[in-house]
Structure 1
Amino acid sequence: MTQPALVLSGITKTYPGVRALSDVTVAVARGKVHAILGENGAGKSTLVGIAAGSVVPDSGTIGLAGEEFTRIQPRVARERGLAIVYQVPALAPSLSVVDAVLLLLPESKRPARRGAAAWLTAHFERLGLEIDPNATVGALTLREAHLIEIAAALASHPDVLVLDEPTEALGPEETRWLFARIQELLARDVAIVYITHRIPEVVEIAEELTVLRDGKVVGRGKVSDFDEDKIVELIVGRSLETTFPEKASVAAGAEPVLEVLELSGAGFSNLSFSVLPGQIIGFAGVEGNGQREALRAIGGRGATSGRVLVGGRESSVRSYRAATRAGVAFLPGDRLGEAMFGKMSVRENAVSPSLDNVMPTGFVDRPREYRKTREAIAGLSVKTPTLETPVASLSGGNQQKVLLARARLSEPKVLLVEDPTQGVDAGARVEIYAFLRGLAESGVAVVVLSTDAVELEGLCDRVLVFSRGEVMGNLSGDEVNERSITGTAVRSTATGSVTAVSAVPRRRRSGGMLRGELQAGVLVALTIVLATATTFVSSAFLTPLNLSQLLAAAAVIILVGLAQLLVVMTGGIDLSVGSVVALSAVVLSFFGQGGPAYFALGVLLALTAGLVVGLVNGLLVTRLSIPPVIATLVTSIAVVGTAQVLRPMPGGSASADIMTAIGTTIGGVPLVLAVALGIAVLTWFVVQRTRLGRGLRAAGSDPVKANRMGVDVSRMRLFATIAAGVLAAVAGLVLYSRTGIGDANTAQALTLTSVTAIVIAGASIFGGSGSALAVAAAGLLLQVITNSLSYLGLSLSWQYWLQGAFVLFAAVLPLIARRRRPAAEH
């Protein structure tokens, strides 16, 4: 018999207090689709995470490409032919699409970066996708991100493809497109692991299945040997009627709870409908035809004209706050991204929109909060250890139940729900359907948007089918069935390959590299304007001596800015930068009176000192998990103390020969500035044009996704802190070339200056982005500001005012850009 493509044997994985998997064995044959089924928390994602290398098992083996592993790294799994598409796409938000795809590809299948954009464009075209390779991942919709990750997996020509809930964010057309790709892979003898909650999909495309419950295998075999009811019974551990709650009859003469009259907005127009007491209305259509924008507009997120009446009274829905005051509650499909506070508790999430109710006096009333939370989740069977458990640690179904409980607590008149059961298991779905039907029967107008036609059929009394922004079908009664819903949507829109899946509907979005270059250009222009204005006031500003001193001082700021940039890019911060500069200068001061060889030894020791400090910072952060701000604060204090022990008082004057050598100028430009700019260009190249640079940006953008992409996050952070320490030591050399002495108390302000430089340069303080060229331009601008003050007759306090103004400008500019971005781009 042919050897299985993937064998997971005896896999056990335990988390604190939870056994996620217990002695699980799964063998996936070549040329077949093997479905892994189970409720949320059953262990499915943990199992495939172990196969892909993002999760380390406690015991068991992974058999892949004829080799056996007790654990495997993501990049090794990819090189051995395994590709995975995660339920939440593993794409670092700050990367461009092309850089993200390159990280996902195995080394042997990765094209050269120079032609990667053209290669990816051609690959997308072959698949029928219209996505700009230079778009930023963070600007994509969840649907677009899924399609990109699927495309990246296909580009790797895998032997094993793992699909974790691949259709949850896709519409019917994209799902058919995906199934066509799966058939092509099966024809090439590729093994496919398919995880889904959608049992009809399993019946349609899978040949074999394995069912997990509570981390154990409770069933396996050929799909043809099971009917849907039997599969559901295996999943939930009991016989379960998969039917929906009975639909309510509407009383004659009932007045509408919600009326929408000729509502228009970005992506839709002329929407009119009403919801009677007891009714649930559904929004359907091929994804991207305006139904999502329409639902959000009713919730206060984008209407431009028309009327909305709630309980017979006209209500403003021009803003989220106005809609909420009118009694409209909106629950987005992206629960953690848009609706919930992941690190906050179940209690805090449940009461968050009802603070006037749970805190009537304005002060925390914890017993009242607990009582209200229990009332809200009553009947929803929320599985949580305590009400203080962070909501992000719950399964998708339980998160959705908490969100529904929150809506119930706010006592809405209208409830708008986007994808109510996305990522929710079979058992939880039935409970959510019953909850929504009960809410409707209590008099709340319920409007549901779903990409699942079966769900709309079973749950809704009427379904509006959208096409090209307008309602093309208004189905009711017996017309509300899967065939009619899907048929209306398909007949009203283009069919065939997936088209117009564009990450840039209105205009091309530049990647991070181009934005950094533009930012650098703006800063250089500001520098020139300021220098010109200063020259008009005092021509002495342009004297060779002043310019030489200015440029040498700018070199120091550029180097410390680059040091800070590398650390911040990986999601940290380095408070020891200034201290390392001072220590480097102090070390050099002991070698300034000797010859060139002796001074070269001092340079080597200074660089070594910076490297050691960076290594210590990195180990504290990566090995001991100490927050970067605390780790680097501790090392900063220790480094300053060391420098003060070495030089209690300023001293160690450099010889004239040494000062002349390290103060060399070329065409009036200090050599140290040329070195700093050369390092800036090299850093820019590494960050933007190498795998290392993509890894650094991915690690800071989203560590979990970066790990799934095959990035060693700890290694990236360690590299960044070491490089920062060395760059700070080089800055100490430049500082020593200007002062000629060692002073342990100097350079401390450079830590704050380094942060100022990267903020002005447009780098995100949360990690993942930044341009070395912009940092170099920012360093030059900051020094020109300082130098110009005396020539302009201004006091030193203006230095801080001007720096603060530039920091504020740099922080506000992206917010302005986002506000001006057309709604259609979101």
Structure 2
Amino acid sequence: MATPTSSTPGLVLTEITKTYPGVRALDSVSVTVERGRVHAILGENGAGKSTLVGIAAGSVVPDSGTIGLAGEQVARIQPREAREKGLAIVYQTPALAPSLSVVDSVLLLLPESRRPKRRGAAAWLSAHFESLGLTIDPNAQVGSLSLREAHLIEIAAALASEPSVLVLDEPTEALGNDETRWLFERIDELLAKNVGIVYITHRIPEVVEIASDLTVLRDGKVVGRGKVADFSEDQIVELIVGRSLETTFPDKSSSEPGVQPALEVVDATGPGFRSVSFTVAPGRIVGLAGVEGNGQRELLRALSGKGPMAGTVRVNGTPLARRSAKAGSQLGIAYLPGDRIGEAMFGKMSVRENIVAPSIDLAMPAGFLDRPREYRLTREAIAGLAVKTPTLETPVTSLSGGSQQKVLLARARLGDPKVLLVEDPTQGVDAGARVEIYAFLRRMAESGVAVVVLSTDAVELEGLCDSVLVFSRGRVMVTLDGDQVTERAITGTAVLSQREHESAPVVSAVPSGARRSWWRGEGQAGVLVGLILVLGAVTTLVAPAFLNPLNISQTLATAGTLVVVGLAQLLVVMTGGIDLSIGSVVALAGVITSFFAHGSIVLFVAGVALSIVAGLVVGVVNGLLATRLNIPPVIATLVTSIAVLGLAQVLRPQPSETATDEIMTLIGTTVAGVPLILVAAILIAVVLWLIIGRTRLGRGLRAAGSDPVKANRMGVSVRAMRMFASVAAGGLAAVAGFALYTTTGIGDANTGQTLTLTSVTAIVIAGASIFGGSGSAIAVAAAGLLLETITSALTFLSLSLSWQYWVQGAFVLVAAVIPLVARFVRTRRLIAPPTAPPSGAVAEAAP
């Protein structure tokens, strides 16, 4: 392998070609990124930038070409290998699995050579954040963070890897001015260390400010390259869009004063903002500005009904009586959130379905499908927006960012809104689409709609808005109008307001532990143990024989089976699937074991080992069907369940004889009065708990189930994680089959079938997400004990069969609802209105 030197280019992509069905994303593209320089890669959405970055990072495999990194040329590279060779990447959509903690996510992102031990990782990460001016709780759950916080965490992780090449894909889209300045300072520090920077952005002023070199892509080909200093901003834009842009922003409103406001907001107060009042007349566009985190975003969401708020809101003179998104929509308020994919769109649905979704009554006036009417309404809605889509049935997620935003704008227009609230209208949108979106917003205003735009781009606010409200500390510091709306005034007012009140850290602190997923872990296990004790105490008062040693021993032994099947299901569910073959594997393992239960102990042990091997083989088959043939795990395991059950019934058409006394004595062994099988089950749960929470394998399992795309970008092999889960689940199900055999000593193909449903019940009441990404093995063990305690207690309470079902269902419901209630209470506490600042701490809003 070649040894890189200080003069060796940081990254060399040579003749890269990548073709998707019907589309050539990249056509013989070559880029050389020198060390100690910022190389901007520019182009409209769909030009091939993200594909090129994915190839360099290893998440996309090229059809041809070579990747040069760390002095070595390869045809393809794996994400983990790219990180080890010194490449760090910050994606436009942060590659952080939502179900992981911040510290676990960062550990996955770091190369092996830079990764600290897990035990001290939280303290190490806190110190790293502090050195960067960030105050984020390392134990916070990623899914509870804002997009802005997630971006900063990924940037911090990239910096911690001490890269030789750093790729930044639209890094400032979710950042405010302060965070952008902070990032540019970090870039300067990296350049001083001879690090090569790849910078992808749609913001041309940023390119001019920090980049040395540029490469422009259009339709997958290089259409321009050179030194940034040799191009003007207009020339760069013309290269990107392939045409000259005579004007970027449409003419502003010429509406006369004195018109009745379309939107009136009086004394709006909520989490993050206080005493905000303003009006928007029909035909005008009002912008919300300020340093990120000063309440403007919270206000916009509250006006849409997405957040709590006190105060008065009127639309065309009619007050908004109820604070909800539905009530706002009925009154004529349309809201377009900044997080298009995560919050605004139905990702797997078509363009047509996304556009007509909020106007379903209009599309189906009689309540029945009217496809021609849907098509007509959809075409009317997107008219003039130049949505680039092959057909109206194309999944909306396959469109570019600009076309996705146009789909949302078309949806809003179809609903005939009176007020349009738009958050970051051009985030992730290319230069050409920006012009079209600006023109559309102005046409909406001219049609009589009151438009409110929140943007972190002061240039955008200057060119688009008739008035701008500048926020600081949750209040409107200044209202700029007419000729006062300039980039200098917007930025200056925001920055000076911050300095006047002492600027806060880049990210406001998150209360330690406030965002941890506590009730999906050991806290839930404590709740379940408490329910067990309560149920045991009540049953003992009614029927003291419940504490009979024989009953306790039988209950604990049977609980061992439930614990193990729950753990088997947990692994598969954690990776995003459900295993319907568990009950059949339990039956097969018991049947195989029974054939060896009438000889020597050595032969019996060999039979148990053979049954576990059979379970592992079933797991391999399940894994191959799911990962190689891409059959959904539910379908794959349903097929294998039927086949395995059939095999068990062929082997044992009738139940076997009871095992020999010697073997029954062996399998009935206890430890301090506790059946050995339960002790083994608890040990397995502890081992899995350590693996899931404390190892790279556990982080990979959770990441794969939480978000496969992000997991892949983090360097996790989703296919390998799902295969491991399937095989381990098969093995554990076989262990559960042996555990069940220890309670009966009989091999019966018809036993164990109900355990599939029981395993799902166990993980649900243990607080694990059935959608994948989370779960605690300790909580699952407690759930298994609770389920068997319920069954045993109901027998002693002499309840009829119907009452047994009712009581058992009630306990399961309580156990499942408790985490939901806890999360609701915690959420309400987090969004409680802030304490009013001291008198005089914040200047009054300008009239």
Q: Same fold (TM over 0.5)?
A: yes
Matching residue within 471, 477, 483 for 2:476? 471
Following superposition, the deviation at residue 316 of structure 1 comes to 2.8
Corresponding letter in the other structure for 1:55: V
Output one character per residue of 1:359-378: Cα deviation in whole Å (capped at 9) or x when no partner: 11111111111001100000
Following superposition, the deviation at residue 12 of structure 1 comes to 0.8
Partner of 1:16 in structure 2?
A: 21
Q: Secondary structure at the match of 1:232?
A: helix
Output one character per residue of 1:199-257: Cα deviation in whole Å (capped at 9) or x when no partner: 00000000000000001111111000111111111111111234310112112532222
Matching residue within 51, 62, 69 for 1:46? 51
Following superposition, the deviation at residue 308 of structure 1 comes to 1.7
Matching residue within 796, 800, 806 for 2:805? 800
Query: Which runs of structure 2 are paired with 1:61-210 in the superposition (5 Å)?
Result: 61-210=66-215
2:304–2:334: 8 Å Cα contact kept in structure 1?
Answer: yes
Partner of 1:541 in structure 2?
A: 546
- Length, aligned pairs only: 825
Following superposition, the deviation at residue 716 of structure 1 comes to 0.5
Partner of 2:840 in structure 1?
A: none
Partner of 2:297 in structure 1?
A: 292
Matching residue within 38, 56, 80 for 2:61? 56
Return the alpha-carbon distance in structure 2 between the equivalents of residues 254 and 824 of structure 1: 41
Output one character per residue of 1:513-535: Cα deviation in whole Å (capped at 9) or x when no partner: 77411111110111011111111
1:534–1:541: 8 Å Cα contact kept in structure 2?
Answer: yes
Partner of 2:564 in structure 1?
A: 559
Partner of 2:333 in structure 1?
A: 328
Following superposition, the deviation at residue 273 of structure 1 comes to 1.2
Specify whether residues 218 and 806 from structure 1 end up closer, same or farther in structure 2 by C-alpha distance, changes over 3 A only.
farther
Following superposition, the deviation at residue 76 of structure 1 comes to 0.5
Partner of 1:367 in structure 2?
A: 372
Q: Secondary structure at the match of 1:272?
A: strand
Following superposition, the deviation at residue 166 of structure 1 comes to 0.3
Return the alpha-carbon distance in structure 2 between the equivalents of residues 700 and 800 of structure 1: 32
Query: Which runs of structure 2 are paired with 1:619-634 in the superposition (5 Å)?
Result: 619-634=624-639
Specify whether residues 763 and 338 from structure 1 end up closer, same or farther in structure 2 by C-alpha distance, changes over 3 A only.
same
Partner of 1:413 in structure 2?
A: 418
2:519–2:819: 8 Å Cα contact kept in structure 1?
Answer: no
Following superposition, the deviation at residue 324 of structure 1 comes to 1.0
1:813 to 2:815 alignment: no
2:520–2:766: 8 Å Cα contact kept in structure 1?
Answer: no
Query: Which runs of structure 2 are paired with 1:277-356 in the superposition (5 Å)?
Result: 277-316=282-321, 318-356=323-361
Specify whether residues 314 and 539 from structure 1 end up closer, same or farther in structure 2 by C-alpha distance, changes over 3 A only.
closer
Matching residue within 677, 682, 686 for 2:682? 677
Specify whether residues 424 and 803 from structure 1 end up closer, same or farther in structure 2 by C-alpha distance, changes over 3 A only.
farther
Specify whether residues 389 and 526 from structure 1 end up closer, same or farther in structure 2 by C-alpha distance, changes over 3 A only.
same
Q: Secondary structure at the match of 1:550?
A: helix
Corresponding letter in the other structure for 1:388: E
Output one character per residue of 1:421-471: Cα deviation in whole Å (capped at 9) or x when no partner: 000000000000000001111110001000000000000010000000000
Output one character per residue of 1:487-518: Cα deviation in whole Å (capped at 9) or x when no partner: 0000011499861614625x632634774111
Following superposition, the deviation at residue 379 of structure 1 comes to 0.4
Q: Secondary structure at the match of 2:521?
A: helix
1:718 to 2:755 alignment: no
2:539–2:546: 8 Å Cα contact kept in structure 1?
Answer: yes
1:79–1:108: 8 Å Cα contact kept in structure 2?
Answer: yes
Partner of 1:232 in structure 2?
A: 237
1:316–1:326: 8 Å Cα contact kept in structure 2?
Answer: no
Matching residue within 486, 493, 502 for 2:498? 493
Following superposition, the deviation at residue 356 of structure 1 comes to 1.8
Following superposition, the deviation at residue 754 of structure 1 comes to 0.4
Specify whether residues 652 and 160 from structure 1 end up closer, same or farther in structure 2 by C-alpha distance, changes over 3 A only.
farther
Return the alpha-carbon distance in structure 1 between the equivalents of residues 236 and 572 of structure 2: 50
Specify whether residues 94 and 294 from structure 1 end up closer, same or farther in structure 2 by C-alpha distance, changes over 3 A only.
same
Following superposition, the deviation at residue 677 of structure 1 comes to 0.5
1:764 to 2:773 alignment: no
1:612 to 2:617 alignment: yes
Specify whether residues 291 and 823 from structure 1 end up closer, same or farther in structure 2 by C-alpha distance, changes over 3 A only.
farther
Moved more, 305-314 or 477-486: 305-314
Structure 1: stretches of 5+ with no match in the other structure = none
1:297–1:317: 8 Å Cα contact kept in structure 2?
Answer: no
Query: Which runs of structure 2 are paired with 1:638-717 in the superposition (5 Å)?
Result: 638-717=643-722
Following superposition, the deviation at residue 303 of structure 1 comes to 4.7
Query: Which runs of structure 2 are paired with 1:435-446 in the superposition (5 Å)?
Result: 435-446=440-451
Q: Secondary structure at the match of 2:53?
A: helix
Structure 2: stretches of 5+ with no match in the other structure = 1-5, 832-847
Corresponding letter in the other structure for 1:585: G
Return the alpha-carbon distance in structure 2 between the equivalents of residues 632 and 463 of structure 1: 58
Specify whether residues 446 and 560 from structure 1 end up closer, same or farther in structure 2 by C-alpha distance, changes over 3 A only.
same
Partner of 2:3 in structure 1?
A: none
Q: Secondary structure at the match of 1:493?
A: helix
Alpha-carbon RMSD: 1.5
Return the alpha-carbon distance in structure 1 between the equivalents of residues 752 and 20 of structure 2: 46
1:95–1:512: 8 Å Cα contact kept in structure 2?
Answer: no
Q: Secondary structure at the match of 1:330?
A: strand
Corresponding letter in the other structure for 1:622: T
Return the alpha-carbon distance in structure 1 between the equivalents of residues 515 and 358 of structure 2: 37
Partner of 1:574 in structure 2?
A: 579
Return the alpha-carbon distance in structure 2 between the equivalents of residues 656 and 128 of structure 1: 69
Corresponding letter in the other structure for 1:6: L
Matching residue within 214, 219, 226 for 2:219? 214
Output one character per residue of 1:619-665: Cα deviation in whole Å (capped at 9) or x when no partner: 00000000000000000000000001111111143111011111101
Q: Secondary structure at the match of 1:649?
A: coil
Return the alpha-carbon distance in structure 2 between the equivalents of residues 258 and 113 of structure 1: 52
Return the alpha-carbon distance in structure 2 between the equivalents of residues 809 and 70 of structure 1: 55
2:179–2:506: 8 Å Cα contact kept in structure 1?
Answer: no
Percent identity of equivalent pairs = 73
Return the alpha-carbon distance in structure 1 between the equivalents of residues 731 and 474 of structure 2: 57
1:130–1:499: 8 Å Cα contact kept in structure 2?
Answer: yes
1:636 to 2:627 alignment: no
Partner of 1:262 in structure 2?
A: 267
1:390 to 2:395 alignment: yes
Matching residue within 725, 729, 737 for 2:742? 737
Q: Secondary structure at the match of 1:342?
A: coil
2:520–2:819: 8 Å Cα contact kept in structure 1?
Answer: no
2:657–2:746: 8 Å Cα contact kept in structure 1?
Answer: yes
Partner of 1:461 in structure 2?
A: 466
Specify whether residues 714 and 494 from structure 1 end up closer, same or farther in structure 2 by C-alpha distance, changes over 3 A only.
farther
Specify whether residues 823 and 426 from structure 1 end up closer, same or farther in structure 2 by C-alpha distance, changes over 3 A only.
farther
Following superposition, the deviation at residue 68 of structure 1 comes to 1.5
Corresponding letter in the other structure for 1:217: V
Following superposition, the deviation at residue 420 of structure 1 comes to 0.3
1:562–1:772: 8 Å Cα contact kept in structure 2?
Answer: yes
Return the alpha-carbon distance in structure 1 between the equivalents of residues 761 and 168 of structure 2: 44
Return the alpha-carbon distance in structure 1 between the equivalents of residues 748 and 688 of structure 2: 29
Partner of 2:277 in structure 1?
A: 272
1:263–1:303: 8 Å Cα contact kept in structure 2?
Answer: no
